[in-house]
Structure 1
Amino acid sequence: MPSTKKMLRPARRLRAGALAAAAVSLALTLTGCADVETTAPSAARAQAVQGAPARFGTVDCREAKCIALTFDAGPSENSARLLDILKEKKVPATFFLLGKRHIEKYPELVKRMAAEGHEVASHTWDHKILTRITDAQIREELRRPDDAIERLTGRKPTLMRPPQGRTDANVHRIAKEMDLAEVLWSVTAKDYATTDSALITKRVLAQASRDGIILLHDLYQGTVPAVPGIIDALKARGYVFVTVPQLLAPGKVEPGKVYRP
């Protein structure tokens, strides 16, 4: 079978290149929204309604050393292998999916993500920077992937990740109207800038901490090969992998809020 790299068509390479170019500004992303009020997972848990169940599934992150593995900008031709790895390692993840050329191209992978217990969420339809477009365009960027995901999985997303993490009060307002919360991150491997899986692993492990949210992209060639080593190393440190909603439990996702460790 030809390698994935050889199978990439010129248009696909251009698409990956465009996303990589957009992602280069990720190092500045959190600075760009430094004034945004965010809620930490521990705060979400503390604010839970009194008497709420202590556990979400089989994990209580008030007691366990939890961390969330998240993947942006899929599904891609690498997602099936990633799902195989997560299934083998018994690790749930949260997928923030793009609509155009992704959800519409790999609908069966979206169904599989949901069926295998992963959280399926939105990364917008076409990766437009939400703080630079009109209200109507923001709504369209959020509505289209949500509708597509709901058709495929039977469940409307409750979470979204704004492209490049760029958000503001106006985005929060519209997200709240659409019953969505925003999720940022605390760990980035900058996997858009390297194919070195060992380096990706090293970067994640150096930044990992309790209640962390790890940002990766299965779109890029070095990322999926790094995942087994990341999982094994963090498990050895005592971490338990959870989805983002599990990380917040017994607190519940609240539309309009921005979650970041």
Structure 2
Amino acid sequence: MPTAIQKMRKTRAAFHAAAALFTAGALTFGLSGCTSYDTTAPSGVRADRSHTDAKNAGASLGTVDCRKAKCVALTFDAGPSEHSARLLDILKEKHVPATFFLLKNHIAKYPELVRRMEREGHEVASHTWDHKILTDIDDALIREEFERPDDAIEKLTGKRPTLMRPPQGRTNNHVSELAEKEGLAQILWSVTAKDYTTNDSALIRKRVVDQTKRDGIILLHDIYKGTVPAVPGVIDELKAKGYVFVTVPQLFAPGKAEPGKIYRP
């Protein structure tokens, strides 16, 4: 039988093991807490109409009611680019609206494409100014990343963006607080083709189609040469599966994205 000393040693060992486990758990919680945030799904926005005037709710639905239809939002980051004109031609031909999260000097380089996006019914939003990781910079720089693209887009389209996509999807509650002050909601995604890793258009198309589900938000980049050629196939295959393409605001209707909140299917 174990002696009293052996029992004491076992008790101390168990105590130290528990303490180490607690410390590790606390550290994990602390690290994750730095980048933790809550997200809201599109269906949650549609269900919560407390901030929507019920009398005018029907007008915000447009031609699609995503409470009934099998909706999906096609979004493009970091443009415009030399490929965007062809993309807009494809979207127009196939009667598909999209949401564009635009970046810094691309806005100044292709002003007519920005105007065309707005004119042809697409949602024009921000991907920040210089693609800085928002969780790594100070408040003054974060505000600049928010304000500069919004100012540039508003000057071209007459409409100030209300949606923003954080670079690499990296955000936290503090970034959300600053976004709220700028009137911006953050939009993440549920589908990515990782088109920044390949120019294989067939592979990009397959990745998108395989991942897409109802209320999905598809992330693509119209700055890469393999992406735009994949878009017709993406549209045709998803339409064949019964999907209806909408902008992000249409996906949320009759609800509306609120500044300071983060949205992800």
TM-score, structure 2 normalization: 0.84
Distance across 1 between alignment mates of 2:33 and 2:222: 25
Distance across 2 between alignment mates of 1:195 and 1:63: 36
Which residue in the other structure is 1:181 paired with? Answer: 185
Q: 1:227 aligns with which of 228, 231, 251?
A: 231
Distance across 2 between alignment mates of 1:260 and 1:89: 26
Q: 1:97 aligns with which of 72, 79, 102?
A: 102
What is the Cα deviation at residue 77 of structure 1?
Answer: 0.4
Distance across 2 between alignment mates of 1:111 and 1:79: 12
Q: Secondary structure at the match of 1:140?
A: helix
Q: 1:78 aligns with which of 79, 83, 86?
A: 83
Which residue in the other structure is 1:68 paired with? Answer: 73
Which residue in the other structure is 1:109 paired with? Answer: 113
The answer to whether the 8 Å contact 1:65/1:240 transfers is yes
* CA-to-aligned-CA distance 1:103-154 (integer Å, 9 cap, x gap): 0100110000000000000001110000000100000011000000000000
Whether 1:47 aligns to 2:51 is: no
What amino acid sits opposite 1:72 in the alignment? D
Q: Secondary structure at the match of 2:45?
A: helix
* CA-to-aligned-CA distance 1:161-218 (integer Å, 9 cap, x gap): 0000000111100000000000000000000000000000000011000000000001
Q: How many residues align?
A: 230
The answer to whether the 8 Å contact 1:33/1:166 transfers is no
What amino acid sits opposite 2:230 in the alignment? A
The answer to whether the 8 Å contact 2:36/2:173 transfers is no
What is the Cα deviation at residue 246 of structure 1?
Answer: 0.3
Q: 1:161 aligns with which of 162, 165, 183?
A: 165
Which residue in the other structure is 1:134 paired with? Answer: 138
Q: Secondary structure at the match of 2:77?
A: strand
Which runs of no fewer than 5 residues in structure 2 stay unpaired? 1-31
Distance across 2 between alignment mates of 1:244 and 1:36: 20
What is the Cα deviation at residue 32 of structure 1?
Answer: 11
Q: How does 1:15-26 map to 2 (within 5 A)?
A: none
**Worse-superposed segment, 43-52 or 67-76:** 43-52
Q: 2:63 aligns with which of 44, 49, 58?
A: 58
What is the Cα deviation at residue 51 of structure 1?
Answer: 2.9
Which runs of no fewer than 5 residues in structure 1 stay unpaired? 1-30
Distance across 1 between alignment mates of 2:34 and 2:80: 27
TM-score, structure 1 normalization: 0.86
The answer to whether the 8 Å contact 1:33/1:167 transfers is no
Distance across 1 between alignment mates of 2:129 and 2:47: 33
Which residue in the other structure is 1:194 paired with? Answer: 198
What is the Cα deviation at residue 34 of structure 1?
Answer: 7.5
Whether 1:216 aligns to 2:217 is: no
Label 1:33 to 1:83 Cα distance change in 2 as closer, same or farther (>3 A).
Answer: farther
Over the aligned positions, Cα root-mean-square deviation in angstroms equals 1.5
Distance across 2 between alignment mates of 1:233 and 1:32: 40
Label 1:148 to 1:73 Cα distance change in 2 as closer, same or farther (>3 A).
Answer: same
Which residue in the other structure is 2:122 paired with? Answer: 118
Label 1:82 to 1:74 Cα distance change in 2 as closer, same or farther (>3 A).
Answer: same
Work out the percentage of aligned pairs sharing the same amino acid: 73
Distance across 2 between alignment mates of 1:135 and 1:71: 26
